[in-house]
C-alpha cells in the first residue's frame, strides 16, 4: 500500500514539475527571440508594452498626487511630521494651538503637491532609455520590478530636481511662514530645546517615497488585474507572466 502511494506521489510531483518547466520554457522562448515576431510578440512588442505600463503608472498615479489633497488626503502618500517636529506638534496642541499644528502638516503636503509634476519628464527619459534587456528583467521580475527600475534610474535626478522646487513651493503655498511661526512659538515655550529642522530636504525625500509608492500601486494592478490592462499590447505582454 505504501509503495503504491509513493509511486503516485512521485508521478504527480514529476507531472507538476514537467508542466512548470514547460511554462518557464515558453516564457524564456518568447523573451529571447531576437527582433523577430512569431505572430504573437517580438522584442519590440515586449519593450513597448513595458514602457506603456510605466507611462500608465505615471500618468494615472503621479498626476493624481499633483491634485489638491493628492498627498494630504491619500493615506499611502501623505507626508507626516519628522520625528524632530512631533514634539513641536504635541506641545502646540497642549496649549490650544491645534489649528496651527494642523496647518503646519497640511502645508508640507501642499508643497509636495505643487512640486510633484516635475517628476514626469525625468521618468519619461528613464522609460525611453529602457533597453530590451531591462524590459525582459522587469517582465520576469517580481511585482515591483518596474518600480525598482525607475527608482534605480531616477532617484538621484529626481532629488536634484525636487529639492529647489520644494523650496520654491514652500514659499508659494506659505509653508515657510507657517513653520517659521510654529517653530518660533515652540522655541519660546519654557523647558523646550530649540529646533531647526531642514524641512526642504525632509519633504523632498518623503515626496519621492510617495511617488514610488503610487507607481508601485499601478504596477501591481497591471500585473495582477486583467481589467487594468487597458490596451491590447498590455494584455499580450503581461499574459506572458500570468
234 in the same domain as 216: yes
106 in the same domain as 24: no
Spatial distance between the Cα atoms of 183 and 167, rounded to a whole number of angstroms: 17
229 in the same domain as 143: yes
47 in the same domain as 80: yes
CA 190 to chain CA centroid, Å, is: 42
49 in the same domain as 22: no
52 in the same domain as 12: no
Show the DSSP H helices in 174-240 as ranges. Answer: 175-188, 199-224, 232-239
234 in the same domain as 185: yes
Degrees, nearest 5: CA angle 120-216-136: 90
The whole-number pLDDT of residue 61 equals 85
The whole-number pLDDT of residue 193 equals 72
48 in the same domain as 26: no
The whole-number pLDDT of residue 109 equals 94
The whole-number pLDDT of residue 194 equals 66
103 in the same domain as 18: no
Helix, strand, coil shares, percent, the chain, to 5? 75, 0, 25
102 in the same domain as 205: yes
* Host domain of residue 84: 37-239
192 in the same domain as 215: yes
Q: How many domains does the chain divide into?
A: 2
- Give me the tens of pLDDT residue by residue for the chain, a chain 242 residues long: 434 433 333 333 334 344 434 433 443 444 444 333 334 678 888 888 888 877 877 888 888 999 999 999 999 999 998 887 888 888 878 888 788 788 888 999 999 999 898 888 888 889 888 888 888 888 888 888 989 999 999 999 999 999 999 999 888 888 888 888 887 877 777 766 766 678 899 999 999 999 999 989 888 887 887 776 777 877 777 777 76
Which residue reads 506603456 in cell numbers?
Answer: 52
76 in the same domain as 161: yes
Spatial distance between the Cα atoms of 121 and 77, rounded to a whole number of angstroms: 20
The whole-number pLDDT of residue 159 equals 92
Contact 42/79 with Cβ under 8 angstroms? no
Amino acid at each position: 500500500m505504501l509503495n503504491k502511494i509513493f509511486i503516485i506521489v512521485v508521478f504527480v510531483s514529476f507531472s507538476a514539475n514537467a508542466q512548470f518547466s514547460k511554462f518557464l520554457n515558453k516564457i524564456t522562448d518568447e523573451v529571447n527571440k531576437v527582433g523577430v515576431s512569431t505572430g504573437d510578440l517580438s522584442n519590440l512588442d515586449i519593450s513597448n508594452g513595458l514602457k506603456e505600463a510605466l507611462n500608465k503608472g505615471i500618468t494615472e498615479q503621479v498626476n493624481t498626487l499633483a491634485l489638491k489633497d493628492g498627498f494630504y488626503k491619500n493615506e499611502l502618500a501623505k507626508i507626516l511630521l519628522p520625528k524632530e517636529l512631533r514634539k513641536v506638534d504635541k506641545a502646540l496642541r497642549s496649549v490650544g494651538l491645534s489649528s496651527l499644528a494642523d496647518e503646519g502638516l497640511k502645508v508640507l503636503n501642499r508643497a509636495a503637491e505643487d512640486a510633484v509634476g516635475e517628476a514626469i519628464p525625468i521618468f519619461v527619459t528613464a522609460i525611453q532609455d529602457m533597453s530590451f534587456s531591462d524590459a525582459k528583467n522587469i517582465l520576469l521580475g517580481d511585482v515591483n520590478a518596474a518600480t525598482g527600475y525607475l527608482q534605480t534610474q531616477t532617484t538621484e535626478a529626481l532629488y536634484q530636481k525636487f529639492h529647489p522646487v520644494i523650496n520654491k513651493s514652500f514659499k508659494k503655498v506659505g509653508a515657510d511662514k507657517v513653520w517659521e511661526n510654529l517653530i518660533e512659538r515652540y522655541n519660546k515655550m519654557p523647558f523646550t530645546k530649540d529646533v531647526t529642522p531642514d524641512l526642504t530636504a525632509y519633504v523632498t525625500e518623503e515626496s519621492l517615497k510617495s511617488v514610488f509608492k503610487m507607481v508601485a500601486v499601478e504596477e501591481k494592478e497591471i500585473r495582477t488585474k486583467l481589467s487594468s490592462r487597458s490596451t491590447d499590447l498590455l494584455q499580450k505582454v503581461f499574459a506572458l507572466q500570468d
